[in-house]
Structure 1
Amino acid sequence: MKWVKGAFSWLLSIATGIIVALLISIFIFQPTEVVGSSMEPTLQPNHRIYISKLPHTFKYEPEYEDIVIIDSRVDRPRTFKDDLRDNFFFNILSGAQDHTIWVKRVIGKPGDVLEFKNNQVYRNGKPINEPYIKEEMMYASDEKIIVPKDHIFVMGDNRNNSRDSREIGPVPIDHVLGKKLF
C-alpha cells in the first residue's frame, strides 16, 4: 500500500505541474515559432519568440509598431476553446501546425485612417517612418481604411510577401493573442 500512496503522490505532482504550465501558457506567457518570411528582416522563419499573453487576457490595446500574434480568423468570434487549441503545449502534443496564427506588426489603432500610396503607408494623412521593413512596398490602393473601434490594423515587415490586414481587414482586439517580449 505504501507504493500506491507514493505513486499517487507522484501522479498528483505531475498533474499539478502540467495544469500550472498550461494555465501560464494560456494566460501569461508562451513561446511560439515564427512560420514563414512575412516578418523578415525583423524575424526569421523558424525563430522562437516569447510572447506575453497579458494583452489577450486583459484585452488591452497594443501600441504602434508592437509585434503581435493574432488569430487571422477575424470572421468569427474567439472562444476559450480557441485559447486551449492555440496553446503551445497543445500544439506540441498534437503535432499540429496552425496557419491561422500570424505574427505581425501593429500599424493602425482604432480611429486611424490608413492609405497606401507612393509605395508607403500613410496614417492620418502622414507617411509612417518604417525603418524595419524589408524593402519598398509595392502596393497601392485608392481605398482609405478607417480602423474600427476595438480593432487594430497589422502588416508584416516583408510587405511584398505578407498576408495581413490588407487581406483579412482590421483585427478585433480579442483576436490579438499576445505581444512579442523577446
Structure 2
Amino acid sequence: MTTAKVIKEVLNWVKLLAIALIISVVVNAFLLQPYQVKGHSMEPSYDDSDYTMVWKPQDRYEYGEVVIVDRRIDRERQWLDRFVEHPIIQRVFRTEDDNLIIKRVVGQAGDVLEFKGNQLFRNGELLQEDYIKEEMYGNPDQTVTVPDGHIYVMGDNRNHSSDSRAIGSIPLTHVLGKVIFHK
C-alpha cells in the first residue's frame, strides 16, 4: 500500500468518526441522553451509579414521572448546555456536571402543595407514595403553589434529598427530560 492510500484511508476513518460523533451529540442534545445516578436521594427506586436513559422531546411531565433537572434555576439555560452535557464531551474535557439531578414529579403548575406533620398533600389530598424510602421527618409545615411553567420535584429518599424543598420549583426550561429506562 502506498503512503497516499494509507493517508486517504486514515482520512476516511477520521471523517467517519467525526460524523458519528456529530450524530451522537445531536441525538444526545435533542432526543436521548444517558445519565448516571449520583447519590442516594432516589433510593429505593434508583441506586447510586445506576444508569438511565432520558427522553428529551417533552413539554409536560406527569405526576410520579422521574425526570432529570438542572438545579441551577437562578440562571437561564443556554443552547450550548445541551451539547456540553454530552457524556463524551464531559469525559474529554473533564467537566462532569453535578448540577443535573434525578427527581420525581410531585407537583405541576397551579398545584398547591402542603407539608403538614411530615406528610405531603397536593390540592388538599394526602399523597399515597409507595415509592418513597421512609416517612419524611423534620419538614416544617408550609404551603407552596407551583408557578406556571414549573414543576415541583422531590427525591424518593425524602430525608436525604436536595430537591424543590431546597431549590424551589423547577422551570420547564430546566427539565432535561423524563427517565424511560434504568439499569
Contact 1:68 1:177 (C-alpha < 8 Å) held by counterparts: yes
Contact 2:45 2:131 (C-alpha < 8 Å) held by counterparts: yes
**Identity rate, percent:** 42
What's the offset of the Cα at 1:119? 1.8
- One-letter amino acid of the structure 2 residue matched with residue 9 of structure 1: N
- One-letter amino acid of the structure 2 residue matched with residue 16 of structure 1: I
Matched, 1:25 2:28: yes
RMSD between aligned residues: 1.2
| SS at 1:6 equivalent | helix
What's the offset of the Cα at 1:49? 1.1
Counting only pairs closer than 5 Å after superposition, residues 93-132 of structure 1 correspond to structure 2 as 93-132=92-131
Distance, in Å, in 2 between the alignment partners of 1:61 and 1:152 is 9
Distance, in Å, in 1 between the alignment partners of 2:141 and 2:41 is 24
Alignment partner, residue 67 of structure 1: 66
Matched, 1:89 2:92: no
Larger Rg: 2
Distance, in Å, in 2 between the alignment partners of 1:67 and 1:124 is 21
What's the offset of the Cα at 1:135? 0.2
Contact 2:84 2:90 (C-alpha < 8 Å) held by counterparts: yes
| SS at 1:181 equivalent | strand
| SS at 1:80 equivalent | coil
Counting only pairs closer than 5 Å after superposition, residues 1-182 of structure 1 correspond to structure 2 as 1-55=4-58, 60-182=59-181
Distance, in Å, in 1 between the alignment partners of 2:129 and 2:94 is 36
Distance, in Å, in 1 between the alignment partners of 2:46 and 2:26 is 27
Runs (4 or more) in structure 1 with deviation over 6 Å come to none
Distance, in Å, in 2 between the alignment partners of 1:142 and 1:129 is 18
| SS at 2:80 equivalent | helix
Structure 1 gaps of 5+ residues are none
Q: TM-score, normalised by structure 1?
A: 0.93
Cα displacement string for residues 98-134 of structure 1 (whole angstroms, at most 9, x for unaligned residues): 2211000000000000010122110001111100000
Contact 1:150 1:173 (C-alpha < 8 Å) held by counterparts: yes
Structure 2 gaps of 5+ residues are none
| SS at 1:136 equivalent | coil
